[in-house]
Amino acid sequence: MLQLKMEHFSLSTKFFFLSFVFAVLCRSEAVIQIPNNETVPAVIMFGDSIVDTGNNNGLISAMKCDFPPYGRDFNGGMPTGRFSNGKNFSSFPPPFLVEELGIKDLLPAYRDPSLQPKDLLTGVSFASGGTGYDPLTPKIVSVIPLSEQLQDFKQYIGKLKGIVGEERTNFILAKSVVFVVASSNDIANTYFLTGIRKAEYDIPSYADLLLNSASNFIKELYGLGARRIGVFSAPPLGCVPSQRLLVGGSETECAKQPNQASQVFNDKLSRELGYLNNNLPNAKVVYIDVYNPILDLVTNPKKYGFEIANKGCCGTGTVEVAILCNQLDHHHTCTDDSKYVFFDSYHPTEKAYKIIVNQLITKYIYNFV
């Protein structure tokens, strides 16, 4: 159900959303009407656990969360493969963005066996928790690499053409907002926790490896017809509970090196996306800064109504994530996750996601018009 907090928006943005509401009420195919007669027929997601809505459920991998306590605040306590207590960053992306834009209540996982043909028209998530720009990253945890997500996307395009024809498919691809969310697992896990890449790369050269992969991925999306592409920055990874403890050696302070690595990558990514935006005809390639809003959230939790930002709700809150955050931890898992910025040792709570998404919507939505 769409719930708009209109007091947070400017007059023009209110018109944007009110126009959308009218469109949803009057048409069976949800399309947002925005200024200049533009539309957003669908939202499409690529990347990692921040926007994975269940694609990992069918994998043989430790990077899964289709079991309690995940999803305990989602649709009556049903774990769906979203790495949170409720909705995930399927927030500026899936749930919240899709919900705010009125395209649908929830963005389904492309690999969900219950996916219906009509679901394809308004977008899906191809994301896989644990993946990254570095091709080694998904191999470590046996998840879906970006290259395979791209193959799924090609299959999706073929299915769309079978449903609505080539002309309408091209319209959907060109007018939809496509989000790419990756780099966190590369920096936090492949570089720092496992140390596998440290032997061959310093931080700047590893950032270049990630940047090259990100740039090529965006160009491939463009070649397949995507024109509105939003790319998330790396977050302040040194501030997630697991990195604080395992890399920084402290629960109270953010680990400096992962944060510095995120900043190095973000600087390079921002410049590259600016270049692509200027050089890919008719494209809107947008750099979306999540580093600073999340840093403010974890360093000033009380400002946003939180009490605890240095550990997660699940178990001890310092190392539990994916299969380590499970029903065996229920005696140690918090009873009130609204007090926590993080649900497990890596992923935010639904409340935290919602706050970040509201900030991102007001800042970036018109960059895609």
Domain CATH for 323: 3.40.50.1110
194-227 pLDDT, tens digit each = 999 999 999 999 999 999 999 999 999 999 999 9
- Identified catalytic residue from 48, 128, 242, 347: 347
38-40 and 43-47 strand pairing: unpaired
Concerning whether 344 is annotated as a catalytic residue, the answer is yes
Domain, as residue range, for 127: 38-367
288, 79, 144, 171 alpha-carbon torsion, rounded to 10°:
-60
User: What is the per-residue pLDDT for 5?
Assistant: 42
Tell me whether residue 30 is in a domain: no
340-342 and 308-312 strand pairing: parallel
Model pTM?
A: 0.85
User: What is the per-residue pLDDT for 354?
Assistant: 85
Tell me whether residue 16 is in a domain: no
Tell me whether residue 332 is in a domain: yes
User: What is the per-residue pLDDT for 36?
Assistant: 59
User: What is the per-residue pLDDT for 12?
Assistant: 41
User: What is the per-residue pLDDT for 98?
Assistant: 52
Q: Measure the CA–CA gap between 172 and 256, rounded to whole angstroms.
A: 42
CB atoms within 10 A of CB 169: 21
Tokens 């609505």 -> residue: 164
Tell me whether residue 130 is in a domain: yes
User: What is the per-residue pLDDT for 135?
Assistant: 98
- Identified catalytic residue from 49, 61, 176, 215: 49
Tell me whether residue 13 is in a domain: no
Tell me whether residue 25 is in a domain: no
Q: Measure the CA–CA gap between 66 and 46, rounded to whole angstroms.
A: 19
Concerning whether 49 is annotated as a catalytic residue, the answer is yes
Q: Measure the CA–CA gap between 241 and 345, rounded to whole angstroms.
A: 5
DSSP 65-132: --STTTTTTSTTT---S-SSSS--STTSSIIIIIHHHTS-SSPPBTT-TT--HHHHTT--B---TT--
Determine which helix (DSSP H) or strand (DSSP E) holds 310, and give its type and residue range: strand 308-312
Q: Measure the CA–CA gap between 254 and 236, rounded to whole angstroms.
A: 9
The structure tokens listed for 76 are 């009556």
User: What is the per-residue pLDDT for 66?
Assistant: 66
Tell me whether residue 282 is in a domain: yes
Domains in the chain: how many in total? Answer: 1
Look at the alpha carbons of 335, 341, 346, 347 in this order and tell me if their dihedral is positive or negative.
Answer: positive
User: What is the per-residue pLDDT for 346?
Assistant: 72
- Asked if residues 227 and 282 have their Cβ atoms less than 8 Å apart, the reply is yes
Q: Residue 147 burial by CB count (10 A; 0-12/13-18/19+): exposed, middle or buried?
A: middle
pLDDT, averaged per 10 consecutive residues of the chain (369 residues), comes to 40 37 33 57 91 85 72 67 58 45 72 93 93 98 97 98 97 95 96 94 98 98 97 96 86 92 98 98 97 96 95 82 73 84 83 86 80
The answer for residues whose C-beta is within 8 angstroms of residue 285's C-beta and 6 or more apart is: 218, 229, 231, 273, 276, 277
Tell me whether residue 228 is in a domain: yes
Cis upstream peptide for 301 (omega within 30°): no
- Identified catalytic residue from 186, 329, 337, 344: 344
